[in-house]
Amino acid sequence: MSAVRWYGPRDLRVEAVATPRPSAGEVLVRVERVGLCGSDLEEYREGPVSIPPDAIPLTLGHEVVGTVVACPGEEVAVGTRVIPDVVVGCRHCWWCDRNQEGLCPDLPVRGQQQDGGLAEYMLADARTTVVVPPAVELDVAAFAEPCAVAVRALRKAGDLTGAVVCIYGAGTVGLSVAQAALSSSAAAVVAVDPVASRRRLASDFGAIACSPDEAVTVIRDLTDGRGADVVLECAGVPQAPAAVELSRRGATIVLVGFRADRLVLPWLDVVLGERHLIGSAAHLWDEDVTAAVAMLARGTFNPRPLHTTTMPLTETPAAFQHLDQDPTVLKILIRP
Protein backbone atom coordinates (compact mmCIF):
# COMPACT_ATOMS: atom_id res chain seq x y z
CA MET A 1 0.00 0.00 0.00
CA SER A 2 1.03 3.66 -0.30
CA ALA A 3 1.90 5.71 2.80
CA VAL A 4 3.21 9.23 3.40
CA ARG A 5 6.28 8.96 5.62
CA TRP A 6 8.16 11.67 7.48
CA TYR A 7 11.94 11.47 7.03
CA GLY A 8 12.90 14.98 8.17
CA PRO A 9 11.84 18.64 7.92
CA ARG A 10 10.32 19.23 4.46
CA ASP A 11 11.13 15.64 3.56
CA LEU A 12 7.90 13.66 3.16
CA ARG A 13 7.93 10.64 0.87
CA VAL A 14 5.04 8.74 -0.66
CA GLU A 15 6.26 5.16 -0.51
CA ALA A 16 5.08 1.60 -0.95
CA VAL A 17 5.02 -0.22 2.41
CA ALA A 18 3.55 -3.52 3.59
CA THR A 19 -0.15 -3.38 4.48
CA PRO A 20 -0.35 -3.89 8.26
CA ARG A 21 -2.07 -7.01 9.59
CA PRO A 22 -4.46 -6.62 12.51
CA SER A 23 -3.94 -8.86 15.54
CA ALA A 24 -6.47 -9.70 18.26
CA GLY A 25 -8.15 -6.56 19.57
CA GLU A 26 -7.30 -4.52 16.47
CA VAL A 27 -9.11 -3.47 13.32
CA LEU A 28 -7.71 -2.72 9.87
CA VAL A 29 -9.24 0.48 8.54
CA ARG A 30 -9.33 1.47 4.88
CA VAL A 31 -8.61 5.18 5.20
CA GLU A 32 -11.08 7.45 3.37
CA ARG A 33 -10.10 10.93 4.56
CA VAL A 34 -7.27 12.36 6.68
CA GLY A 35 -7.15 15.96 7.87
CA LEU A 36 -3.81 17.79 8.01
CA CYS A 37 -3.43 19.75 11.21
CA GLY A 38 -1.22 22.42 12.76
CA SER A 39 0.88 19.85 14.61
CA ASP A 40 1.51 17.99 11.33
CA LEU A 41 2.62 21.31 9.83
CA GLU A 42 5.03 21.84 12.75
CA GLU A 43 6.54 18.40 12.10
CA TYR A 44 6.82 19.30 8.41
CA ARG A 45 8.46 22.65 9.12
CA GLU A 46 10.74 21.97 12.07
CA GLY A 47 10.29 18.38 13.22
CA PRO A 48 10.92 16.09 14.90
CA VAL A 49 8.75 17.83 17.52
CA SER A 50 7.05 14.75 18.97
CA ILE A 51 8.28 12.01 16.61
CA PRO A 52 10.66 9.68 18.52
CA PRO A 53 14.00 9.05 16.72
CA ASP A 54 13.41 5.28 16.58
CA ALA A 55 10.03 5.78 14.85
CA ILE A 56 11.53 7.51 11.77
CA PRO A 57 10.39 7.13 9.02
CA LEU A 58 6.89 7.61 10.45
CA THR A 59 3.53 7.62 8.68
CA LEU A 60 1.81 10.86 9.76
CA GLY A 61 -1.96 11.43 10.01
CA HIS A 62 -4.15 11.47 13.13
CA GLU A 63 -7.44 12.99 11.90
CA VAL A 64 -8.84 9.91 10.23
CA VAL A 65 -12.15 8.50 9.05
CA GLY A 66 -12.37 5.15 7.28
CA THR A 67 -14.10 1.83 6.93
CA VAL A 68 -13.25 -1.36 8.81
CA VAL A 69 -12.05 -4.04 6.37
CA ALA A 70 -10.78 -6.64 8.87
CA CYS A 71 -11.42 -7.32 12.56
CA PRO A 72 -10.06 -10.65 13.83
CA GLY A 73 -11.97 -10.44 17.13
CA GLU A 74 -15.24 -9.41 15.40
CA GLU A 75 -15.78 -6.52 17.84
CA VAL A 76 -16.64 -4.22 14.90
CA ALA A 77 -18.48 -5.44 11.78
CA VAL A 78 -16.52 -5.29 8.52
CA GLY A 79 -17.93 -2.42 6.42
CA THR A 80 -18.59 -0.11 9.41
CA ARG A 81 -17.43 3.49 8.96
CA VAL A 82 -15.45 4.58 12.01
CA ILE A 83 -13.25 7.20 13.59
CA PRO A 84 -10.21 5.18 14.70
CA ASP A 85 -9.10 6.72 17.99
CA VAL A 86 -5.45 7.69 17.83
CA VAL A 87 -4.65 8.21 21.55
CA VAL A 88 -3.33 4.75 22.37
CA GLY A 89 -1.55 4.91 25.75
CA CYS A 90 0.90 2.29 27.05
CA ARG A 91 -1.97 0.23 28.57
CA HIS A 92 -0.15 -0.54 31.84
CA CYS A 93 0.66 2.72 33.67
CA TRP A 94 -1.29 4.27 36.58
CA TRP A 95 -3.22 6.59 34.19
CA CYS A 96 -3.98 4.00 31.47
CA ASP A 97 -5.39 1.72 34.21
CA ARG A 98 -7.91 4.50 34.95
CA ASN A 99 -9.01 5.20 31.33
CA GLN A 100 -6.91 8.37 31.27
CA GLU A 101 -4.79 7.39 28.26
CA GLY A 102 -4.35 11.07 27.41
CA LEU A 103 -2.23 11.47 30.56
CA CYS A 104 -0.01 8.45 29.87
CA PRO A 105 3.64 9.57 30.24
CA ASP A 106 4.51 7.59 27.08
CA LEU A 107 1.42 8.94 25.26
CA PRO A 108 1.77 7.00 22.04
CA VAL A 109 -0.49 8.66 19.47
CA ARG A 110 -1.00 7.10 16.05
CA GLY A 111 0.36 9.51 13.46
CA GLN A 112 2.72 11.15 15.95
CA GLN A 113 4.67 8.40 17.74
CA GLN A 114 3.32 5.38 15.84
CA ASP A 115 2.26 4.97 12.21
CA GLY A 116 -0.92 6.90 11.48
CA GLY A 117 -3.49 7.32 8.77
CA LEU A 118 -1.77 9.06 5.85
CA ALA A 119 -1.85 5.73 4.05
CA GLU A 120 -4.32 3.46 2.30
CA TYR A 121 -4.79 1.38 5.47
CA MET A 122 -4.11 1.84 9.17
CA LEU A 123 -4.39 -0.23 12.33
CA ALA A 124 -6.55 0.84 15.26
CA ASP A 125 -7.87 -0.61 18.50
CA ALA A 126 -11.25 -2.29 18.06
CA ARG A 127 -12.27 -1.20 21.59
CA THR A 128 -11.85 2.52 20.91
CA THR A 129 -13.12 2.94 17.34
CA VAL A 130 -16.17 5.20 17.27
CA VAL A 131 -18.92 4.33 14.79
CA VAL A 132 -19.96 7.09 12.37
CA PRO A 133 -23.71 7.18 11.55
CA PRO A 134 -24.28 6.53 7.81
CA ALA A 135 -25.98 9.93 7.31
CA VAL A 136 -22.80 11.86 8.19
CA GLU A 137 -20.88 12.86 5.05
CA LEU A 138 -17.28 11.76 4.77
CA ASP A 139 -15.91 15.33 4.53
CA VAL A 140 -17.84 16.17 7.72
CA ALA A 141 -16.85 13.03 9.64
CA ALA A 142 -13.20 13.81 8.84
CA PHE A 143 -13.40 16.66 11.38
CA ALA A 144 -14.21 14.39 14.33
CA GLU A 145 -10.70 14.49 15.79
CA PRO A 146 -10.23 18.30 15.92
CA CYS A 147 -13.87 18.64 17.10
CA ALA A 148 -13.10 16.17 19.90
CA VAL A 149 -10.22 18.45 20.96
CA ALA A 150 -12.76 21.31 21.10
CA VAL A 151 -15.25 19.20 23.10
CA ARG A 152 -12.63 18.38 25.72
CA ALA A 153 -11.41 21.98 26.01
CA LEU A 154 -14.96 23.26 26.52
CA ARG A 155 -15.61 20.62 29.15
CA LYS A 156 -12.58 21.91 31.06
CA ALA A 157 -14.00 25.45 30.80
CA GLY A 158 -17.15 24.37 32.68
CA ASP A 159 -20.57 26.05 32.57
CA LEU A 160 -20.64 28.94 30.07
CA THR A 161 -24.09 30.26 31.04
CA GLY A 162 -24.04 34.06 30.89
CA ALA A 163 -20.29 34.11 30.31
CA VAL A 164 -18.26 36.29 27.97
CA VAL A 165 -16.05 33.71 26.27
CA CYS A 166 -12.86 34.65 24.45
CA ILE A 167 -11.30 32.23 21.97
CA TYR A 168 -7.74 33.15 21.16
CA GLY A 169 -6.79 31.66 17.78
CA ALA A 170 -9.41 30.85 15.13
CA GLY A 171 -7.93 27.85 13.34
CA THR A 172 -9.86 24.59 12.99
CA VAL A 173 -9.90 23.90 16.75
CA GLY A 174 -10.61 27.54 17.71
CA LEU A 175 -13.48 27.80 15.23
CA SER A 176 -14.91 24.48 16.46
CA VAL A 177 -14.70 25.75 20.05
CA ALA A 178 -16.45 28.94 18.88
CA GLN A 179 -19.30 27.00 17.27
CA ALA A 180 -19.88 24.88 20.36
CA ALA A 181 -19.67 27.93 22.66
CA LEU A 182 -22.17 29.78 20.44
CA SER A 183 -24.62 26.90 20.77
CA SER A 184 -24.35 27.16 24.57
CA SER A 185 -25.92 29.86 26.73
CA ALA A 186 -22.82 32.05 26.73
CA ALA A 187 -23.62 35.80 26.69
CA ALA A 188 -21.01 36.54 24.01
CA VAL A 189 -18.26 34.71 22.15
CA VAL A 190 -15.24 36.70 20.97
CA ALA A 191 -12.83 35.11 18.46
CA VAL A 192 -9.37 36.66 18.17
CA ASP A 193 -7.17 35.97 15.14
CA PRO A 194 -4.70 37.95 13.01
CA VAL A 195 -5.99 36.39 9.73
CA ALA A 196 -8.96 38.29 8.22
CA SER A 197 -10.49 35.25 6.47
CA ARG A 198 -10.61 33.35 9.78
CA ARG A 199 -12.25 36.33 11.50
CA ARG A 200 -14.84 36.40 8.71
CA LEU A 201 -15.65 32.73 9.33
CA ALA A 202 -15.93 33.32 13.07
CA SER A 203 -18.39 36.18 12.55
CA ASP A 204 -20.37 34.10 10.02
CA PHE A 205 -20.83 31.59 12.85
CA GLY A 206 -22.10 34.40 15.12
CA ALA A 207 -18.99 35.31 17.11
CA ILE A 208 -17.62 38.82 17.61
CA ALA A 209 -14.35 38.67 15.68
CA CYS A 210 -11.34 40.93 16.17
CA SER A 211 -7.59 41.05 15.61
CA PRO A 212 -5.12 40.57 18.52
CA ASP A 213 -4.53 44.36 18.58
CA GLU A 214 -8.23 45.07 19.09
CA ALA A 215 -8.89 42.28 21.59
CA VAL A 216 -8.28 44.15 24.86
CA THR A 217 -10.61 47.01 23.87
CA VAL A 218 -13.34 44.73 22.50
CA ILE A 219 -13.39 42.58 25.63
CA ARG A 220 -13.21 45.51 28.04
CA ASP A 221 -16.18 47.13 26.25
CA LEU A 222 -18.18 43.92 26.60
CA THR A 223 -17.40 43.41 30.28
CA ASP A 224 -17.35 46.88 31.86
CA GLY A 225 -13.57 46.70 31.86
CA ARG A 226 -13.38 43.41 33.84
CA GLY A 227 -12.11 40.99 31.19
CA ALA A 228 -13.52 37.72 29.80
CA ASP A 229 -15.03 35.13 32.16
CA VAL A 230 -13.51 32.28 30.16
CA VAL A 231 -10.55 32.33 27.76
CA LEU A 232 -9.68 29.35 25.56
CA GLU A 233 -6.17 29.67 24.20
CA CYS A 234 -6.18 27.82 20.85
CA ALA A 235 -3.21 29.51 19.16
CA GLY A 236 -0.13 28.18 20.96
CA VAL A 237 2.14 29.08 23.81
CA PRO A 238 3.56 32.41 22.52
CA GLN A 239 0.07 33.89 22.94
CA ALA A 240 -0.65 32.45 26.39
CA PRO A 241 0.23 35.69 28.28
CA ALA A 242 -2.42 37.47 26.16
CA ALA A 243 -4.95 34.90 27.40
CA VAL A 244 -4.21 36.01 30.97
CA GLU A 245 -4.39 39.69 30.03
CA LEU A 246 -7.81 39.25 28.39
CA SER A 247 -9.32 37.39 31.34
CA ARG A 248 -11.02 38.88 34.41
CA ARG A 249 -9.94 38.20 37.99
CA GLY A 250 -11.27 34.77 38.95
CA ALA A 251 -11.57 33.70 35.29
CA THR A 252 -10.95 30.25 33.86
CA ILE A 253 -8.24 29.98 31.19
CA VAL A 254 -8.02 26.75 29.21
CA LEU A 255 -4.74 26.23 27.37
CA VAL A 256 -5.31 24.11 24.27
CA GLY A 257 -2.63 25.29 21.83
CA PHE A 258 0.92 24.36 22.63
CA ARG A 259 4.47 24.35 21.40
CA ALA A 260 7.50 22.57 22.82
CA ASP A 261 8.64 25.85 24.32
CA ARG A 262 9.23 27.64 27.60
CA LEU A 263 7.32 30.79 28.33
CA VAL A 264 7.14 33.60 30.85
CA LEU A 265 3.64 33.92 32.32
CA PRO A 266 2.38 36.90 34.34
CA TRP A 267 2.33 34.90 37.58
CA LEU A 268 1.21 37.83 39.72
CA ASP A 269 -1.97 38.20 37.65
CA VAL A 270 -2.61 34.47 38.01
CA VAL A 271 -1.95 34.30 41.77
CA LEU A 272 -3.44 37.60 42.98
CA GLY A 273 -6.24 37.39 40.40
CA GLU A 274 -7.00 33.78 41.43
CA ARG A 275 -7.26 32.76 37.79
CA HIS A 276 -7.72 29.08 36.99
CA LEU A 277 -5.15 27.89 34.43
CA ILE A 278 -6.16 24.52 32.98
CA GLY A 279 -4.40 22.42 30.36
CA SER A 280 -6.45 20.41 27.87
CA ALA A 281 -4.74 17.77 25.74
CA ALA A 282 -6.18 15.67 22.93
CA HIS A 283 -9.33 13.68 23.77
CA LEU A 284 -10.70 10.38 25.00
CA TRP A 285 -12.55 8.13 22.58
CA ASP A 286 -15.54 7.33 24.80
CA GLU A 287 -16.26 10.88 25.93
CA ASP A 288 -14.86 13.46 23.55
CA VAL A 289 -14.74 11.60 20.22
CA THR A 290 -18.21 10.12 20.75
CA ALA A 291 -19.57 13.59 21.58
CA ALA A 292 -17.84 15.13 18.57
CA VAL A 293 -19.35 12.57 16.19
CA ALA A 294 -22.81 13.18 17.69
CA MET A 295 -22.40 16.97 17.38
CA LEU A 296 -21.25 16.64 13.75
CA ALA A 297 -24.26 14.40 13.04
CA ARG A 298 -26.66 16.93 14.61
CA GLY A 299 -25.03 19.93 12.91
CA THR A 300 -23.89 21.64 16.14
CA PHE A 301 -20.48 21.54 14.49
CA ASN A 302 -20.66 22.60 10.85
CA PRO A 303 -17.13 22.07 9.53
CA ARG A 304 -17.95 22.67 5.84
CA PRO A 305 -16.77 26.32 5.87
CA LEU A 306 -13.45 25.16 7.39
CA HIS A 307 -12.79 22.68 4.59
CA THR A 308 -10.40 24.30 2.10
CA THR A 309 -9.82 21.44 -0.32
CA THR A 310 -9.40 17.66 -0.73
CA MET A 311 -6.27 16.24 -2.38
CA PRO A 312 -5.12 12.71 -3.30
CA LEU A 313 -2.55 10.91 -1.12
CA THR A 314 0.18 11.25 -3.75
CA GLU A 315 -0.12 15.05 -3.51
CA THR A 316 0.36 15.21 0.27
CA PRO A 317 3.83 16.85 0.03
CA ALA A 318 2.29 19.58 -2.18
CA ALA A 319 -0.56 19.95 0.32
CA PHE A 320 1.96 20.64 3.10
CA GLN A 321 3.72 23.25 0.93
CA HIS A 322 0.35 24.91 0.40
CA LEU A 323 -0.38 24.88 4.17
CA ASP A 324 3.10 26.20 4.89
CA GLN A 325 2.83 29.17 2.54
CA ASP A 326 -0.78 30.29 2.77
CA PRO A 327 -2.21 31.27 6.19
CA THR A 328 -5.75 31.49 4.75
CA VAL A 329 -5.76 27.69 4.22
CA LEU A 330 -7.69 26.03 7.04
CA LYS A 331 -8.26 22.32 6.55
CA ILE A 332 -6.87 20.23 3.73
CA LEU A 333 -8.31 16.71 3.62
CA ILE A 334 -6.29 13.93 1.99
CA ARG A 335 -8.13 11.19 0.10
CA PRO A 336 -6.04 7.97 -0.08
Residue 104 makes contact with Zn ion by CB under 5 A: yes
- CB contact at 8 A, 110 and 124: yes
Residue 96 makes contact with Zn ion by CB under 5 A: yes
Select 96 or 251, whichever has its Cβ closest to Zn ion. 96
Binding mask 116-155 for Zn ion (x = CB under 5 A): ----------------------------------------
Select 55 or 70, whichever has its Cβ closest to Zn ion. 55
Residue 57 makes contact with Zn ion by CB under 5 A: no
Q: Stretches 104-112, 156-164, 239-247, 284-292: which one binds Zn ion (CB under 5 A)?
A: 104-112
Residue 332 makes contact with Zn ion by CB under 5 A: no
- CB contact at 8 A, 7 and 56: yes
Q: Stretches 18-26, 46-54, 96-104, 219-227: which one binds Zn ion (CB under 5 A)?
A: 96-104
Q: Stretches 21-29, 48-56, 97-105, 161-169: which one binds Zn ion (CB under 5 A)?
A: 97-105
Among 22, 89, 102, 117, binds Zn ion (CB under 5 A): 89
Residue 323 makes contact with Zn ion by CB under 5 A: no
Select 41 or 70, whichever has its Cβ closest to Zn ion. 41
Select 14 or 93, whichever has its Cβ closest to Zn ion. 93
Residue 90 makes contact with Zn ion by CB under 5 A: yes
Residue 167 makes contact with Zn ion by CB under 5 A: no
Binding mask 23-42 for Zn ion (x = CB under 5 A): --------------x-----
Q: Stretches 83-91, 117-125, 210-218, 327-335: which one binds Zn ion (CB under 5 A)?
A: 83-91
Q: What part of residues 209-248 is at the interface with Zn ion (CB under 5 A)?
A: none
Query: Which residues share a beta bridge with 131?
Result: 82
Residues at the contact surface with Zn ion, assessed by CB under 5 A: 37, 89-90, 93, 96, 104
